[in-house]
Chains A and B, each alone.
Chain A
Amino acid sequence: MSAFLDALRARRDAVAQWLPRWWNRALAGALIVVGIVLPFFFPPDSGFMNGTIIAVTYAVMSLGLNIVVGFAGLLDLGYVAFYALGAYSLGWFGSDFFFKLRVHVLVSPVASTLQGVHLNFVLILIGAAAICAVAGMLIGLPTLRLRSDYIAIVTLAFGEIIATVAVNGQSVPVGGGMTLTAGNLGISAVDAPYFPGTGSFSLLNLRPWYWLILAILLLVVFVNLRLRDSRLGRAWVALREDEVAAVSMGIPLVRTKLLAYSVGAVFGGMAGAFFGTYYTEVNASQFAFGFSIFILAMVVIGGLGSIWGALVGGLTLGYINNYLIPDVLNDLPSKFGLHFQLTQVEFGIFGFLLVIMMLVRPQGLIPERRRRLEMTAQIAAEDAQLAEAPAGEVTVILPPGEGAA
């Protein structure tokens, strides 16, 4: 089996050498074009479009968590906190929730007559990013000197605290008879995004929503790629691999770790703001602990530290969660005479996927190169190769920042 795989790998490398230099870029360009024209092949209000939009948003979150867990190696079990903060930024600044205020900036003619704070969606995205960046740093601060598994628990605790505050925010006054959140009742009647000159965003025509989240995704992928190869990205990987060695080489520990938390949080917040407007409601019941694990499962299944892995993991689990389980396989247990529906146990399914993935293919579907070497037996062989290779070739084997691309 492995001989067969090696043969395949050798063939792939041969093909890669034969392909022209611009092949990767052409492929990426073609994929983007396919992504842009995709909605024209489906009805504008179809369930598939809905599932696609949600899956793409999950992919944005998964790319954000990948920075924290994959690049920097800080296991974050409270990522749902940034979803919550992003969604609440939309609820606060894009609805009539703060009904005593009247603030309107660049919003649709309808929204500009309503009470409450109404900002343009782009401004809300920026605001959500800023709020989450600060929150990410605050959450990061107590974890700086902790061991890796304590970090997991502290982030989990922060996520649960924010979820608790979201649920009970109805009893937290912020002045003028207004409260912090609407708890499980939800902030409803949030604004749809509005851009002068484009079509309106309604739930009957999902195409504008799709293009909006696709644009956000492309931006996030681009930022991820640039970050990975930047000085900061290499510093994250260095800290992940060996903290003591990295610090002694002059990497600023505090700044680098805090930046990982806040950059990861920014993407979660942007996706959260989009979900807020897309679901037309910001409800505290959306921010359960299970969601953090769901996003983590995307990153782990895709391949920790791999950008394309996080993207594919997010899309895959997004489709499984919003299309495959509820629409296609939901009645499967009843066919075997079992009295439950598959949607009830979806988190059990994700838990099972996590366990199987870690046991069978810990490097993920599309592994990052360095992680693949670390997680499989190949590392021993590569080490032997390193010892034998002349000094000039050593850098070829482990180029910094070389990913699965």
Chain B
Amino acid sequence: METTTVSPPSLPAAPVRPLAAVRRYAGQWGLIAALAALPVYYGIHDLVYGYQVYVAGHPVIHHDLSNLGYNFAQGLSNGAIWALIAIGYTLVYGIIELINFAHGDVFMIGSFTAVGLWSVFRLSPGMGSAALIGGLLLTLIITMIVTGSLNVLIERVAYRPLRSAPKLAALITAVGFSFILQNVGLLWRGGSPQSVPDLIGVEQTVFTIGGVAIQRGYILVFAVMIPLVFALTWFINSTRAGRAMRATAQDPEAARLMGINVNATISLTFLLGGMLAGAAGLVYALYETNVWYFQGFKAGLFAFTAAVMGGIGNVRGAVLGGLIIGVIQALADARMGPQWTEAVVFGYLILIMVLRPRGLLGEETREAG
């Protein structure tokens, strides 16, 4: 009997694809590099060429990073507002996979409600700080209830009947509702930006770190944002309702079989998102000292960009993304001129989609697994 040894056929060598390596590398680091590009460029620019400041009326060229630090301080506090709105996008997307296009306009209604309540409560910059803080807290609570209920109402009227329809249908009603709310705002307070009383003196410097003046407004924004984010995280992670939200986000059918009331859970999600948008609306009115019916459009798109950047469905990601978008916005505002800011932020949105659609911290949706 002859034995023939047949050498196993050698596997064809895997085709060398240099582009694949580049693409993987771009997916890993491209977005981070693109994000670092702006501050690094302007930091080097400040150090090498310097920037002009006026000391006692005379122009002086400084070569340090405190101008960049000022951009960051301003940007982070802008970003904290975007973060609050972005959480609303991310929660809703996580649970029903819908971009709640009307969310930015719920935020706008929040601003308008807050400003309306100030005049009802007769809050004014001159009054005692205890009364002012008490009034603002009361305004915050009422505003959050109003916007939360509004968001629940929108879900009930416009999204729930379309839950089994194609995705496009709910997205179109969301866009429609966004326009309806904008026009409600237009009729409420007119077509041009209105300035509102500067209740807390947002531009007063509280202290200075490394040449960067920290203003009251910055502290206010974080004093509202941080407790709310912690409360939300606690709610989602530690309560029974929060567990129901997470279960519904993972698998609505299985959640229903386990006895979770899915409709109530979705309403709760919209309530939480709307409440955060209301808080953001109040803070925005205090911080920017003006309100406008169209503010929600830009805010909504910036916040959505933030949610995608952090990884949609991911609350920590939304906060991180909001802060980053705020810094990008502040840098573009200060260095290129505010008329280009939207183009820069939307350019980043497209970069995210090309380089890293799952976002910085990874998305937490059903499709992502």
Contacts and interface: CB of A to CB of B under 8 A. Distances in A.
Contact of B339 (A145, A168, A290, A300): A168
Interface of A: 69, 73, 75, 77, 142-143, 145-150, 152-154, 156-158, 160-161, 164-165, 167-168, 289-290, 293, 296, 300, 304, 340, 344-345, 347-348, 350-355, 358-359, 362, 374-375
Contacts of B171: 75, 148-149, 152
Contacts of B173: 354-355, 358-359
A73 B166 CA distance: 10
Contact of A149 (B167, B176, B178): B167
Contacts of B116: none
B197 to A, nearest CB: 25
Interface of B: 97-99, 158, 161-162, 165-173, 175-180, 182-184, 186-187, 191, 297, 301, 304, 308, 339-340, 342-343, 346-347, 349-350, 353-354, 357, 367
A215 to B, nearest CB: 32
A167 B186 contact: no
Contacts of B162: 358-359, 362
Contacts of B179: 290, 293, 347-348, 350-352, 354
Please give me the 7 A-B residue pairs with the lowest Cβ-Cβ distance, nearest first: A348-B183, A351-B179, A354-B176, A157-B346, A355-B176, A351-B176, A164-B343
Nearest to B355: A142
A304 B173 CA distance: 14
26 contacts: A75-B172, A143-B353, A148-B171, A150-B353, A153-B301, A153-B304, A154-B350, A156-B301, A157-B346, A160-B301, A161-B343, A164-B340, A168-B339, A296-B172, A344-B186, A347-B182, A347-B183, A348-B186, A352-B180, A355-B173, A358-B170, A358-B172, A358-B176, A359-B162, A362-B169, A375-B165
B357 A146 contact: yes
Contact of A73 (B161, B168, B175): B168
B176 A344 contact: no
Contact of A147 (B158, B183, B367): B367
A351 B180 contact: yes
Contact of B180 (A142, A148, A296, A355): A355
Residue with the greatest number of chain B CB neighbours at <10 A, chosen from A148, A358, A375: A358
A383 B340 CA distance: 53
B187 A345 contact: yes
Given A75-B168, A289-B297, A359-B161, A296 B350 contact: no
B346 A160 contact: yes
Given A293-B179, A362-B169, A160 B342 contact: yes
Contacts of B343: 160-161, 164-165, 168
B336 to A, nearest CB: 10
Given A150-B353, A165-B343, A362-B165, A351 B175 contact: yes
A362 B161 CA distance: 11
Contact of A164 (B186, B304, B342): B342
A336 to B, nearest CB: 13
A362 B170 CA distance: 10
Nearest to A339: B187
Nearest to B98: A149
Contact of A359 (B158, B304, B353, B354): B158
Contacts of B297: 289
Contacts of A352: 176, 179-180
A168 B183 contact: no
Contacts of B367: 147
Contacts of B187: 340, 344-345
A355 B158 contact: yes
Given A347-B182, A354-B172, A375-B166, 6 more contacts: A142-B350, A150-B308, A157-B346, A161-B342, A296-B172, A344-B186
